Structure 1
Amino acid sequence: MNLAAARRAWRRLEPLHGMIYFVPEAADRYAKLGLTGMSGYFASRGAAFGRASADLVIATFYNFCPDLVRRSLPAAWDLVTPEQVLQARLEAATEALHRAGIPGLPHFDETLTLARRAAEAACDHLQGRPLFAAHAALPWPDDPLQQLWHAQTLLREFRGDGHVAALLTEGVSGLEALVLHAASGEVPTAFLKISRAWPEDAWTAAEADLRTRGLLDEGTLTPEGAALRRHIEDRTDRLAMPAYGALGEDGCDRLAELARPFGRRVVEAGLLSLG
């Protein structure tokens, strides 16, 4: 099985899930429940666990500053129930994807069939994947658009838990992963610093440690640092194979082909906009 085919299938459909962290529909619904700032994010993604503690979210989300999480949890559960925030999240995703015109795209049914097949295959491999397992225990929605969003949510969390395992195996902390990601140039450093809220002195100390390990040099990846990131991404892809392997290489190629206009429509509709 070609790992690149599975990665393309995941990456091209991932905007369908990832937009939920940026769209105003989500922030508006969380605010109506009394959740503002990052409280909506931590509560909505963590609600699959039930009344998730700050420590559980710190452990499973992996790269957020613990102080940021503790400012939101468990206080959020004094305002909402997990069921309320899960419903708000699903409604927000539905409204945003309708706004982008996702249900009207060609081959919607086939895209859903392939994504759901991969997600259901992943559900046979719960061990060692706590955030995925919590979401896998949620019921499948009846609405096809919501099913597609749920399928990609499962695939995202399945791959994400594998990514955390790969980072841990290589001795890369959540903060160090952020610093290495920033050094790759793939995501603006300012965004990672603001969204994960690590103090500047902690970020600087992580940079120093990575320089000592030969992975970073003046804010850029060394050849060793780049090789480590490639190894972690490849390992993450291999760990995602219980899901995408169920489609076979041809199925992954087909899903990647079908998913391209879905991801593009999300981007073109501004659902991933930071502002």
Structure 2
Amino acid sequence: MQHSEPVARRLFELTEPISVVNFFSPEPNDAMAALGFRNYWDGYFAGRSAPLGRVPAEVVHAAFYNFADGEVARHIPRVWDTTTPEAAHASRQQGCVAALRRILGALADTSDLSCAAELLAKASTSAATEGRVMYAGLRALPVPEEPVARLWHAANMLREHRGDGHIVALVSERIGGTESHVLSALDMGIYPAESFGRIHHLPEARLAEVMDGLRDRGLLDADGRLTDTGRATKARIESLTDALAEAPYEGLEPVELDRLTALLQPISERLRATGSNSDNAG
């Protein structure tokens, strides 16, 4: 089977809807609320950072990369007064599995999904962990046996593996966390970039500083749109991100990769039809 796009890009498009049910479905929020969290962001930071353990806010800020100064510290380490990292991860997984089962319906109990979960788990546990902080944290946890949980856990590991590489690509281009949101917003056609959901709440002075900095580097024009240099920079970031995300899939034989791609297609299509996408995911 011949493919025109990078393997990592094609598999990202197929697996992202699986992992991001965490951000678009009520079940994960309900599961975190059951632990005692009263707002979305407490649950987000507790659930996503749980594999890192009880580390300081500075470590989570560095690992997540794209949050503004002070945002992580409003939640970490305070969330650990409410629950433990182990309980937070378990609840996050429980909620995501419940969401997947609701959305996928009968598809959740098919042999095809079980096979997809096995192949995805094989890929997600085959890459090196060096330089991959979030991925390494998840690799240290047991892979669930139940197929739907196995599918979500594997997709989540691959998402964080890709995210670790994406940070490398951003750092190589000297693009900070807030700057990355500006480039992504404009690349998605969101204008002005300051209206993007991930940054619109930041102080106007901070956003102006970021935009001016990008203009000074020739990445944005006077109107706040991408220049040719800006588009080229964004393209290099995405290309390197894809290249750095290839490693897990090299652990599959070509026939296994083609089989996985075929099995994930209906799963991804069902999830996308319900609005599970990555345009504003954390």
TM-score by length of 2: 0.88
1:121 is paired with a residue whose SS is coil
Q: What is the aligned counterpart of 1:245 among 245, 250, 253?
A: 250
**Any idea what the Cα deviations from partners look like across 1:127-159, whole Å, max 9, x if unmatched?**
111111001101111211101111111111111
| Residue of structure 1 equivalent to 2:208 | 204
Say which SS state the counterpart of residue 32 (structure 2) adopts: helix
C-alpha distance in 1 between matches for 2:28 and 2:251: 32
Change (3 A) 1:77 1:256: same
Is residue 2:265 matched to residue 1:265?
no
Q: Once the 2 structures are TM-superposed, how far is the Cα of residue 248 of structure 1 from its aligned partner?
A: 5.2
Judge which range, 181-190 or 210-219, deviates more.
Answer: 181-190
In the alignment, which residue of structure 1 is the partner of 2:186? 183
Return the alpha-carbon distance in structure 2 between the equivalents of residues 216 and 270 of structure 1: 31
Task: Give how far 1:200 is off.
Answer: 2.4
- Cα distance, 1:39 vs. partner? 0.7
Q: How many residues align?
A: 270
**Displacement after TM superposition at 1:267 (Å):** 2.4
The answer for unaligned runs of 5 or more in structure 2 is none
- Give the unaligned 5+ runs of structure 1: none
Say whether residues 1:133 and 2:133 are aligned partners.
no
- C-alpha distance 107-78 of structure 1, shift in aligned 2 (>3 A): same
CA–CA separation in structure 1 for the residues paired with 2:61 and 2:235:
25
Secondary structure of residue in 1 paired with 2:114: helix
Deviations 1:103-129 (A, max 9, x none): 14672133223211211112xx11111
Aligned counterpart for 2:31 among listed residues 26, 29, 32: 29
Answer with 130-139 or 247-256: which moved more: 247-256
Q: 1:77-226, aligned counterparts within 5 Å?
A: 77-101=80-104, 102-104=107-109, 107-122=112-127, 125-185=128-188, 189-194=195-200, 197-217=201-221, 218-226=223-231
Per the TM alignment, residue 92 of structure 1 is displaced from its structure 2 partner at its CA by 0.1
* Aligned mates of 1:106, 1:223 — CA distance in 2: 48
Q: Which amino acid is 1:214 matched to?
A: G
Letter in 2 for 1:199: P
Name the residue aligned to 2:237. 232
User: 1:12–1:259: 8 Å Cα contact kept in structure 2?
Assistant: yes
Q: Deviations over 1:196-220 (max 9, x none)?
A: x432221221111111111112222
Q: Is the 8 A contact 2:16 2:155 kept in 1?
A: yes
8 Å contact kept, 1:9–1:253: no
**1:219 to 1:237, Cα distance in 2 relative to 1, 3 A:** same
Q: Which residue of 2 aligns with 1:51?
A: 54
Query: What secondary structure sits across from 2:125 in the alignment?
Result: helix
Distance 1:212 1:151, change over 3 A: same
Pairwise CA distance, 1:37? 2.9
CA offsets, 1:215-259, max 9 Å, x none? 112222111111111111111111112112223555444433332
Matching residue of 1:61 = 64
